[in-house]
Amino acid sequence: METDPGPWIRALRHSHDVLRATAEPLTEDQLRQLSYASEWSIAQVLSHLGSQAEIFELFLDAGLAGQDPPGMEQFRPIWAVWDGKEPQAQAADALRADDATTARFESLTDDERARLRLKAFGRDLDVAAVAGMRLSEHAMHTWDVAVALDPAATIAPDAVALLIDTVGQVAPRGKADGQHRQVLITTTGPERHFLLETGDTITLTPADGAATPALTLSAEALLRLVYGRLDAAHTPQVETADVNLDELRAIFPGF
């Protein structure tokens, strides 16, 4: 994983710019349209990104102050406010909140970047990791919006180049089906090699590239697979050898 926060923060700014260009022109009818996230409209996805922008501000405050991270008692009132907004307000306010939080990441001084630490989600997070968490949800939900409007939409390449090296942290959140598998995976753009192992748990770890892969696909597609966004209608060209892609889709239902 890239440990310099600079690339993460720049990719986060680019993701914000993509989101703004996608969402700002939308009409109320378009905002009410279903997003890729099947239970949320486009406006509700934007609302989620807006509320999470506020929550990440709290994460940054806690990390800089050496305090415990915020929890549900802080999250619920934020979510309630955003849930109560009308679709156009959800969209406009989300873009403003997201811009402000991205600017907050950008404004961190070298000293602040060096001392920010946050114990959360079972990990000791530095500023690169916190920015990476924000980029992860931001890039995916930006795609959820974009693909509802353009079926050919893809995740931004700069986000893919960073997130592909964190995908092993996300894979265990899938739904293990008890079936034991070992699947060698090679990605392109960028090239990576992974071993996917399933059973009672799910792991995705770096692998030796010398072996013949059972599954070859773009890094962008692998990210969407693990994040539950690689349905048949949105699957680019892949090469498989004795791999049932539908079974893999089932163990990564998304979140």
Angle at 245 between CA 48 and CA 191, to 5 degrees: 80
pLDDT tens digits for range 199-240: 999 999 999 888 788 999 999 999 999 999 999 999 998 988
121 lies in the same domain as 228 = no
End-to-end CA distance of the chain: 22
Amino acid code (one letter) for 115 = R
For residue 1, what pLDDT is reported?
78
Give the span between the Cα atoms of 143 and 150, in whole angstroms. Answer: 10
36 lies in the same domain as 65 = yes
183 lies in the same domain as 147 = no
Instruction: Name, in order, each residue with C-beta under 8 angstroms of 162's C-beta and a sequence gap of 6 or more.
Output: 2, 7, 8, 11, 132, 135
For residue 254, what pLDDT is reported?
87
Contacts of 128-133 with C-beta under 8 Å, sequence gap 24+, read 128/1, 128/2, 128/3, 128/4, 128/5, 128/8, 129/1, 130/56, 130/59, 130/60, 130/63, 131/5, 131/8, 131/9, 131/12, 131/105, 132/1, 132/8, 132/162, 132/163, 132/166, 133/56
- Report yes or no: 43 and 26 within 8 Å, Cβ to Cβ: no
Q: What is the CATH number of the domain that holds 246?
A: 3.30.1050.10
For residue 213, what pLDDT is reported?
82
Give the span between the Cα atoms of 124 and 3, in whole angstroms. Answer: 13
Residue stretches of the chain with pLDDT short of 50: none
Of the candidates 177, 188, 193, the residue with the CA atom closest to the CA atom of residue 247: 177
> Could you tell me the maximum CA-CA distance found in the chain, to the nearest angstrom?
54
For residue 89, what pLDDT is reported?
98
Strands 192-198 and 202-206, by their bridges, are antiparallel
**158 within a domain of the structure (yes/no):** no
User: Which residue, 90, 118, 153, sits at the end of a domain?
Assistant: 153
Please give the backbone phi and psi of residue 198, each rounded to the nearest 5 degrees, phi first. -125, 160
Amino acid code (one letter) for 222 = L
Q: At what angle do helices 5-23 and 127-149 cross, to 10 degrees?
A: 20
- Joined together, the tokens standing for residue 27 give 């009409």
Please give the backbone phi and psi of residue 17, each rounded to the nearest 5 degrees, phi first. -60, -40
- Report yes or no: 226 and 251 within 8 Å, Cβ to Cβ: no
**143 within a domain of the structure (yes/no):** yes
**159 within a domain of the structure (yes/no):** no
Q: What is the CATH number of the domain that holds 57?
A: 1.20.120.450
Q: At what angle do helices 42-65 and 127-149 cross, to 10 degrees?
A: 170
Split into its structural domains, the chain has a count of 2
Mean pLDDT of the chain: 96
User: Which residue, 153, 188, 203, sits at the end of a domain?
Assistant: 153
What percent of the chain shows pLDDT beyond 70?
100
**222 within a domain of the structure (yes/no):** yes
pLDDT tens digits for range 189-208: 999 999 999 999 999 999 98
129 lies in the same domain as 32 = yes
pTM of structure? 0.95
Give the span between the Cα atoms of 9 and 31, in whole angstroms. Answer: 27
Q: Which domain holds residue 203?
A: 165-251
For residue 105, what pLDDT is reported?
98
**236 within a domain of the structure (yes/no):** yes
For residue 215, what pLDDT is reported?
95
For residue 210, what pLDDT is reported?
80
